[in-house]
C-alpha cells in the first residue's frame, strides 16, 4: 500500500476519446484537468458519456490510442485499475455478497497486504467514520440501500486511494435519503481532501456536491465551471435547459428597450431584430400595476409550500414560469404584473 | 375450502402413477434380499446376495467411484473457467462454443463411444485403461457443469463485482478465487452433484468403451442381469440405489425454493438436465 496521501492527486486527461469495438463513439476527444483535492461532477443525460469518462479515469476502459491519463505527473494510461490505487463507488454498490460488512471493508487492505492488526484498526476507523459500527457482522444482503452505500464508501476509502470515483452513488436511493447522503458525502469528500470525480444525472446533486461541474452532452464536455457559473451563465441552450427551469422568450430590440409580447424592459446590449432571451423563474418578480414591466395572465399555479410556481401566459410564445414567495392564492385567469431584472436576462449564441 | 370430487380424482390418479413407478423399484429391492424370489418373501430374507455382489462386483463399484470423482475433478477444472469465459464475452462465437459443448448430450452415447474407439482404439494402453471411459464421461457431463455455473453467473452482476474488487487492488487470480468462485458456489455445487450422479449412472457410452477389466457399476449391472440369478441382479440394484439416492436427494435439496435466485438456478439446472432424462439410471 502506498503511503497515506495527506493531499489529493491531480488528474489530467489529455486528448482522451473512447470508441467501442462496435463503433459507438462514447466519448469525443476530451482534455481536462482536475485539481488536487477538487470534487468535480460530471453531469448530463443518460448516454452522454459521463460514465465512460469516469471509467477511463478509473482504468476500467482504455482511451483510444493517443489519449493519455495522468495522475499528478505519472502517466497511468497503461495501468489497469488494480494498479491505479483509485477508490470506486458503484451505482449498484458492488458489495461482495459472500462477505460480511467487516470483510468487505477489509478486502482492499487484505489485497494490499496490510498487517492484520493495522487492518483491524483501519476497519474500525472506517466503521466509526461512516457510523455503521453496529453493522459489522451483517451480511450485505441484510442491509438497506443507505447502509450499503455507506459500506461501499467505507470500503473505497479504507485503502486511502489517490482519487475517489463515484458513479451515480445515490441514484438507487429514495429522495429523502438521497438528500441526506448528499450532504454527508459532500462533508466527507472535503474533510478527506481527496480528489473526487462524481457522476450524476441529477442537477441538484451536481450543484450541491461539485466544486466544479462539467456538463456533458453527446460524448463531449460542453461546459465546465462552478455551479454558479453553470447555473447563471450557461454556455448553451442545452445547458440552460438541463440545469433547472429556464424560460425562453423572443423579443425585439428597439429604442433602448427589448419589447416582448406583454411589455418591455430597458435594453442596452444592442442587437437588432428578433433576439432570444432566457431567464430563470426566480428572476421575475410579481409587481404592482405602477411598477410592472409586463402584464400576463395566470394560466396555472402550483403551490410548493415555501413558494408558489406560476405559469404566466401572454409574455412569450409559451407560458413562462415564475416563482413567488407570496402567501396568497392566485386564480387562474387572474391578470398580474411582472418585473424582470434586465441583468438577469441571458442571450445565447446558439 | 371444501375439496371437490375433482381433487380426489386427481389425487388418486397421481398416486396411481407414483405407485406404477415406485412398486417395481421396491419389488426389485425386496428381491435383492429374498432367499428365493420365485417362492416369494415367505422364503425368508438374507444378505447373502449382497455378499455375492460384493465379492463379484466390488471392483466395479470402486471403479465407478474413481471415475465419477475424476470426472468431477476434470469438469471442475475445465468447466468452471469455461463458463466464466463464456459469460465474460457473450457473442456469436461463444454461443457457437456453447452449442459444441452441449452436442454430446444430444448425440447418442453409442455414437460418441464409437467415434472415440475409431480414433483412439489403436492406442492399446489407453484403450484398456479406465481413463478411456473417463474421457467419454467428461465429454458427456461437461455441459452440465458449464450450464449450471453459467446460470448462476448470468444471475449475478459478476462484472461489477469484479470491477469492485479490481478497484480495491485485486489482480485477476484474487478476483477469480475470492470473489467469483465464492459467489457462484451454488452453481458449482449443483453442477458437481449432477456430474457425479450422471457419471455413476452412465451406461450408453460406458458399455461401448469398457473392457472386461474396466467394467463400471452400471455395466456390471447389465452383466449380472444377463448372466446371474435374478436375486443377485436385484441385490446389485440395491447397492446402486444406496449409492445414487443420497446424491439425487442432495441434488433435489439444492433446487428447493429458497428465494428467486435459488428458483432460477433450479429452473436452469432443470432445463440443462431435461434432455438427459432417461440416461441417469439404466
- Give per-residue pLDDT as tens, B9-26: 999 999 999 999 999 888
**Which residues in chain A come in under a pLDDT of 50?**
1-5, 350
Q: DSSP code of B176?
A: I
Residue B263 banded pLDDT, cuts 50, 70, 90: very low
Q: Could you tell me the CA-to-CA distances from B81 to A14, A234, B159, B180 in Å, in that order?
A: 37, 51, 15, 10
Q: What is the pLDDT of residue A342?
A: 83
Task: Please name the residue of chain B whose CA is at the shortest distance from the CA of residue A60.
Answer: B163
Judge whether B160 lies within some domain.
Answer: yes
- Residues 6+ positions from A23 with CB-CB distance below 8 Å: none
The answer for residues whose C-beta is within 8 angstroms of residue A337's C-beta and 6 or more apart is A286, A287, A288, A289, A291, A292, A293, A294, A295
The model's confidence at residue B1, banded by pLDDT at 50, 70 and 90, is low
B160 min Cα distance to partner chain A (Å): 6
The pLDDT-based confidence of B269 (bands split at 50, 70, 90) is low
pLDDT-derived band at B282, boundaries 50, 70, 90: very low
Rounded-to-integer distance, Cα A260 and Cα A215, Å: 31
Cell digits of residue B278: 432417461
Distances (CA, A) of A252 to A295, B230, B240: 17, 107, 95
pLDDT digits (tens, 9 = 90+) for B71-93: 999 999 999 999 999 999 888 88
Chain B (144-203) residues lying within 8 Å, Cβ to Cβ, of chain A: 156-157, 160-161, 163-171, 174, 178-179, 182-183, 185
According to CATH, what is the number of the domain A11-242?
Answer: 3.40.50.300
Q: Is the minimum CB–CB distance between A172 and chain B shorter than 8 Å? A: no
Question: Which among B183, B97, B208 has a CA at the least distance from the CA of B143?
Answer: B97
Mean pLDDT of B103-117: 87
- Give the per-residue pLDDT at A216: 95
The candidate with the shortest Cα–Cα distance to A41, out of A193, A224, A183, A163, is A224
CA atoms within 13 A on the CB side of B198: 31
pTM of the model: 0.78
Residues in chain B, total: 282
CA A215 to chain centre: 8
In a domain, B254, yes or no: yes
Q: Do A107 and B170 touch (CB under 8 A)?
A: yes
Range of lowest pLDDT (B54-58, B198-202, B266-270): B266-270
Using a CB–CB cutoff of 8 Å, tell me whether B91 touches chain A. no
Find the residue in A nearest to B186 (Cα).
Answer: A98
Task: Assess if residue B45 is contained within a domain.
Answer: no
Residue A2, phi-psi category: left (phi > 0), alpha (psi -120 to 50), beta (remainder):
beta
Specify the 3-state DSSP secondary structure of A286. Answer: strand
pLDDT the model gives residue B149: 94
Pairwise CA distance, residues B93 & B142, whole Å: 19
pLDDT for B255? 52
In a domain, B247, yes or no: yes
Number of domains, chain B: 1
Does the model's ipTM exceed the 0.90 cut? no
Of A85, A94, A111, the CB nearest to B163: A94
Touching check for A60 and chain B: CB below 8 Å?
A: yes
Nearest to A344 by CA among A252, A276, A279, A256: A279
From the list B279, B277, B16, B272, the residue with the least C-alpha distance to B148 is: B272
- Going by the DSSP 8-state scheme, the letter that residue A5 receives in this structure is P
Count of CB atoms situated within 10 Å of the CB of A56:
24
What's the confidence (pLDDT) of residue A17? 93
- Write out the three cell numbers for A187: 462533508
- Residue numbers in A near B157 (CB within 8 A): 92, 94
Closest to A13 (Cα-Cα) out of A64, A56, A61, A65:
A56
- Fold exhibited by the domain A247-347: OB fold (Dihydrolipoamide Acetyltransferase, E2P) (2.40.50)
**A114 close to B (CB below 8 A):** no
- Mean residue pLDDT of chain B comes to 84
Q: Are strands A247-254 and A220-225 parallel, antiparallel or unpaired?
A: unpaired
Which cell numbers in the block locate residue B248? Answer: 439425487
pLDDT at B271 over 80: no
Residue B57 grid coordinates: 462386483
pLDDT tens, B30-77? 888 888 877 877 787 888 888 888 888 888 888 998 999 999 999 999
Residue B167 belongs to some domain of the structure? yes
Q: Evaluate the CA torsion angle B22, B28, B31, B32 in order and state its sign.
A: negative
The domain limits of chain A are 11-242, 247-347
Residue B280 has pLDDT above 60, yes or no: no
State whether residue A289 sits within 8 Å of chain B by CB: no
Q: In percent, how much of chain A has pLDDT > 90? A: 51
Distance (Å) from the C-alpha of residue B74 to the closest C-alpha of chain A? 25
Range of the domain at B218: 59-275
Nearest CA in chain A to B184: A98
Of residues A51, A17, A18, A43, the one with CA closest to residue A31: A17
Q: Which residues of B touch A88 (CB under 8 A)?
A: 163-164, 167
pLDDT tops 60 at residue B274: no
For residue B212, the Cα-to-chain-centroid distance in whole angstroms is 23
Q: Closest residue of A to B161, CA-based?
A: A94
Nearest CA in chain A to B166: A82
What torsion do the CA atoms of A68, A71, A74, A76 make, to the nearest 10 degrees? Answer: -50
Give the tens place of pLDDT for each residue, A37-81.
999 999 999 889 999 999 999 999 999 999 999 999 899 999 999
Which residues of B fall within a CB distance of 8 Å from A196?
Answer: none
**Main-chain phi, psi angles of A168, to 5 degrees:** 40, 55
- Evaluate whether residue B1 is within a structural domain: no
Distance CA A26, CA A24 (A): 6
Is beta strand A86-89 parallel, antiparallel or unpaired with respect to A163-167?
A: parallel
Neighbours of A178 (CB within 10 A): 19
Q: Give the model's pLDDT for residue B272.
A: 53
Q: CB distance from B108 to chain A under 8 Å?
A: no
CA–CA gap between residue A164 and residue A214 (Å, rounded): 17
pLDDT of B273 higher than 60 = no
Sheet holding A68-71, edge to edge: A25-34, A11-19, A68-71, A74-75
pLDDT at B217 over 60: yes
Q: Answer yes or no: do B163 and A111 touch at CB < 8 A.
A: no
Which of B157, B169, B185 faces A108 most closely, judged by CB atoms?
B169
Kindly identify which residue of chain A lies nearest to residue B175, measuring between CA atoms.
A111
A122 touches chain B (CB under 8 A): no
Task: For residue B134, give the CATH number of its domain.
Answer: 1.10.3720.10
Amino acid at each position: 500500500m502506498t503511503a497515506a496521501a495527506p493531499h489529493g492527486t491531480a488528474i489530467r486527461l489529455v486528448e482522451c476519446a473512447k470508441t467501442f469495438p462496435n463503433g459507438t463513439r462514447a466519448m469525443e476527444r476530451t482534455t481536462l484537468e482536475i485539481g488536487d483535492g477538487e470534487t468535480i461532477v460530471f453531469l448530463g443525460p443518460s448516454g452522454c458519456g459521463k460514465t465512460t469518462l469516469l471509467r477511463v479515469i478509473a482504468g476500467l476502459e482504455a482511451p483510444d490510442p493517443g489519449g493519455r491519463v495522468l495522475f499528478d505527473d505519472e502517466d497511468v494510461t497503461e495501468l489497469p485499475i488494480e494498479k491505479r490505487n483509485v477508490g470506486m463507488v458503484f451505482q449498484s454498490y458492488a458489495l461482495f455478497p459472500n462477505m460480511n460488512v467487516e470483510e468487505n471493508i477489509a478486502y482492499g487492505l487484505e489485497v494490499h497486504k496490510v498487517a492484520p492488526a493495522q487492518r483491524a484498526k483501519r476497519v474500525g476507523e472506517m466503521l466509526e467514520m461512516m457510523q455503521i459500527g453496529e453493522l459489522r457482522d451483517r451480511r450485505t444482503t441484510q442491509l438497506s440501500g443507505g447502509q450499503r452505500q455507506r459500506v461501499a464508501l467505507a470500503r473505497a476509502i479504507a485503502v486511502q486511494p489517490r482519487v475517489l470515483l463515484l458513479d451515480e452513488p445515490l441514484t438507487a436511493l429514495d429522495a429523502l435519503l438521497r438528500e441526506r447522503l448528499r450532504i454527508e458525502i459532500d462533508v466527507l469528500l472535503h474533510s478527506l481532501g481527496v480528489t473526487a470525480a462524481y457522476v450524476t444525472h441529477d442537477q441538484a446533486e451536481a450543484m450541491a456536491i461539485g466544486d466544479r461541474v462539467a456538463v456533458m452532452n453527446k460524448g463531449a464536455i460542453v461546459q465546465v465551471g462552478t455551479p454558479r457559473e453553470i447555473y447563471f451563465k450557461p454556455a448553451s441552450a442545452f445547458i440552460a435547459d438541463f440545469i433547472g427551469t429556464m424560460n425562453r422568450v423572443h423579443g425585439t430590440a428597439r429604442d433602448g428597450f427589448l419589447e416582448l409580447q406583454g411589455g418591455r424592459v430597458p435594453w442596452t446590449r444592442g442587437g437588432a431584430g428578433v433576439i432570444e432571451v432566457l431567464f430563470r423563474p426566480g428572476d421575475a418578480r410579481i409587481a404592482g400595476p405602477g411598477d410592472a414591466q409586463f402584464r400576463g395572465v395566470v394560466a396555472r399555479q402550483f403551490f410548493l409550500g415555501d413558494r408558489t410556481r406560476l405559469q404566466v401566459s401572454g409574455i412569450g410564445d409559451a407560458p413562462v414560469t415564475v416563482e413567488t414567495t407570496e402567501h396568497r392564492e392566485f386564480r387562474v385567469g387572474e391578470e398580474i404584473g411582472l418585473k424582470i431584472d434586465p441583468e438577469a436576462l441571458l442571450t445565447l449564441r446558439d | 375450502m371444501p375439496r371437490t370430487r375433482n381433487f380426489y380424482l386427481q389425487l388418486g390418479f397421481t398416486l396411481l402413477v407414483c405407485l406404477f413407478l415406485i412398486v417395481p423399484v421396491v419389488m426389485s429391492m425386496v428381491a435383492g434380499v429374498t432367499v428365493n424370489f420365485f417362492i416369494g418373501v415367505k422364503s425368508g430374507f438374507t444378505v447373502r446376495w449382497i455378499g455375492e455382489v460384493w465379492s463379484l462386483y466390488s471392483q466395479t463399484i470402486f471403479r465407478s467411484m474413481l471415475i465419477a470423482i475424476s470426472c468431477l475433478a476434470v469438469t471442475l477444472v475445465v468447466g468452471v473457467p469455461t463458463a466464466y469465459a463464456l459469460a465474460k464475452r457473450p457473442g456469436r462465437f461463444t454461443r457457437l462454443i456453447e452449442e459444441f459443448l452441449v452436442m454430446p448430450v444430444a448425440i447418442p452415447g453409442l455414437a460418441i463411444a464409437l467415434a472415440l474407439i475409431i480414433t483412439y482404439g489403436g492406442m492399446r494402453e489407453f484403450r484398456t485403461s479406465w481413463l478411456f471411459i473417463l474421457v467419454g464421461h467428461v465429454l458427456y457431463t461437461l455441459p452440465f457443469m458449464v450450464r449450471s455455473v453459467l446460470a448462476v453467473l448470468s444471475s449475478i452482476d459478476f462484472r461489477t463485482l469484479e470491477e469492485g474488487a479490481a478497484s480495491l487492488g485485486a489482480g485477476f487470480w484474487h478476483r477469480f478465487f475470492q470473489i467469483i468462485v465464492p459467489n457462484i458456489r451454488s452453481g458449482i455445487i449443483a453442477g458437481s452433484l449432477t456430474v457425479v450422479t450422471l457419471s455413476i449412472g452412465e451406461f450408453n457410452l460406458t458399455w461401448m468403451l469398457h473392457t472386461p477389466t474396466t467394467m463400471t457399476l452400471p455395466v456390471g449391472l447389465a452383466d449380472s442381469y444377463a448372466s446371474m440369478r435374478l436375486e443377485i441382479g436385484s441385490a446389485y440394484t440395491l447397492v446402486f440405489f444406496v449409492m445414487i439416492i443420497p446424491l439425487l436427494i442432495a441434488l433435489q435439496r439444492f433446487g428447493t425454493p429458497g428465494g428467486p435466485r435459488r428458483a432460477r438456478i433450479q429452473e436452469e439446472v432443470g432445463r440443462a438436465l431435461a434432455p438427459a432424462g432417461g440416461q441417469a439410471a439404466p
